[in-house]
Amino acid sequence: MMKALGSLSRRRFLTASASLGIGTIAAPCVARADDPTLRITGWGGKWGDIMKAEIGPAFESEFKCKLQTDSAFPYLPKLQASSRSAPIYDVLHTNSNEQWAAAEMGLVEPKIDPKLVPNLADVYPYAISDKIVGVSIFTSAIGLGLRTDKGYGAITSWKELWDAKYNGVRGGYVIPVNSLGQAFLMMCGTLFGKGQTDLDAAYTALEKLKPIKIVDFTGAMEKMLLSGEVGLCVIHDSGIYRYDGQNQPTDFVSPSEGVLSLEQVLTITPGSKMKELANAYVNYMLRPEVQKRLAETVWYSPANKKVKLDAKYDAKLLTTPEKVSKLIQVDWKWYNERKDEIDQRVNRIFRA
């Protein structure tokens, strides 16, 4: 199973992880406590598989600690309910929308200290931009997913989602609960109005998308696209590329107006008793060899500029400054401040 996950074998990965140079925080600095445990969050699926099989054990071995991972949503309410001085997590891994909400509540530290995380010096600017709380360790491109066997023709623009020929077979998300849907709403403001914050233009555009099939999660969208229930939908690139080699009649489209950034973000909680180990973990997740292994397993674009992916991954993922320049980051702080009123409006739109 591990061999099938990528070209770098488990033995080679562990060897590489144990012989690091630039950007490494030395293990003895963080291995002081007896049986230290770092409590983190993380995804399931292939991400969870490789973290349990390789990435996590290599970290535990090097830093003489244990990783305790919560992969059961929702993370933010659990963090909010725990003690500020003894939070349930030391490191929070989630998407930008939730990280901004956590930062606004004082549940995570807004920024990562580059002196404690040397690999921060090698990330693309988007990963630590003013749109990011903490650091984005990976990103996916949110664009359009297409069935290639339905004769729809070449898609080049977001606006083609509004074409009447996709009535009944276009797909989107329940905006109040899905960050891809929320980012897409802001993209509607850019496409048909004055920018991401033009809500009136966005609401009008959403009205014109009906009839549309909407789902809560991207996994459900993947299933609808694979089954042919939808022919054109909003989706992130890894939701298409993860089926590489399975001869599925699907493709990912990067619209000419740009792709939205779906960031995988790490932050550290202010009350963590494992700050040194937490910073070491963030630094570790940004190492080129760790980034490469995960990127080639889950089809996420690495944040570290020094990562060299194998050819088939490099061809599709965002691995150069030119490709990364196509990313559109949204203002989640602005969105979260208006989320309740937006939720009420979009619920009325799709309930009607």
**Mean pLDDT computed over 1-14:** 38
Instruction: Provide the whole-model pTM.
Output: 0.89
pLDDT tens, position by position, 197-247: 999 999 999 999 999 999 999 999 999 999 999 999 999 999 999 999 999
pLDDT tens, position by position, 241-259: 999 999 999 999 999 999 9
Kind of pairing between the strands at 259-268 and 327-328: parallel
pLDDT above 90: percentage of residues in the chain:
89
**Mean pLDDT computed over 150-174:** 96
Which pLDDT belongs to residue 293?
98
Geometric angle at alpha carbon 57, from 75 and 100, rounded to 5°? 25
The answer to whether 90 and 272 have CB atoms below 8 angstroms apart is: yes
pLDDT above 60 for 260: yes
Q: What phi and psi values does residue 103 have, to the nearest 5 degrees?
A: -65, -40
Geometric angle at alpha carbon 324, from 322 and 329, rounded to 5°? 140
Q: Show the tokens assigned to 2.
A: 């591990």
Q: What phi and psi values does residue 185 have, to the nearest 5 degrees?
A: -55, -45
Q: How buried is residue 79: exposed, middle or buried, by Cβ count under 10 Å (0-12/13-18/19+)? A: buried
In DSSP notation, 104-141 reads HTTSS-SS--TTT-GGGGGB-GGGGSTT-SSEEEEEEE
pLDDT tens, position by position, 271-315: 999 999 999 999 999 999 999 999 999 999 999 999 999 999 999
Could you tell me which residues come within 8 angstroms of residue 47 by beta carbon, excluding any fewer than 6 positions away? 294, 297, 298
pLDDT above 70 for 31: no
Q: Please, what is the average pLDDT of the chain?
A: 91
Q: Helices 288-298 and 10-18 meet at what angle, rounded to 10?
A: 150
Among 3-7, 48-52, 290-294, the least confident range: 3-7
pLDDT above 50 for 20: no
- Who wins on pLDDT, 252 or 4? 252
**Which residue, among 326, 308, 292, has the nearest Cα to 138 in the 3D structure?**
292
What 3-state DSSP class applies to 49?
Answer: helix
Confidence band of 34 (pLDDT split at 50, 70, 90): low
Which pLDDT belongs to residue 144?
98
The answer to whether 280 and 109 have CB atoms below 8 angstroms apart is: no
Contacts 24+ apart (CB under 8 A), 191-198: 191/158, 191/159, 191/257, 196/330, 196/331, 196/334, 197/331, 197/334
**Mean pLDDT computed over 261-271:** 98
Q: How buried is residue 86: exposed, middle or buried, by Cβ count under 10 Å (0-12/13-18/19+)? A: exposed
Which pLDDT belongs to residue 16?
40
pLDDT above 80 for 343: yes
Which pLDDT belongs to residue 352?
61
Which pLDDT belongs to residue 153?
85
What 3-state DSSP class applies to 212?
Answer: coil
Rounded to the nearest 10 degrees, how much is the dihedral formed by the CA atoms of 109, 115, 119, 120?
50
Which pLDDT belongs to residue 5?
33
pLDDT tens, position by position, 104-133: 999 999 999 999 999 999 999 999 999 999
In sequence order, the β-bridge partners of residue 91 are 40, 268
Kind of pairing between the strands at 91-95 and 135-147: unpaired
Which pLDDT belongs to residue 351?
87
Q: How far apart are CA 349 and CA 32, in angstroms?
A: 56
Q: Show the tokens assigned to 337.
A: 């401040």
**Mean pLDDT computed over 314-333:** 97
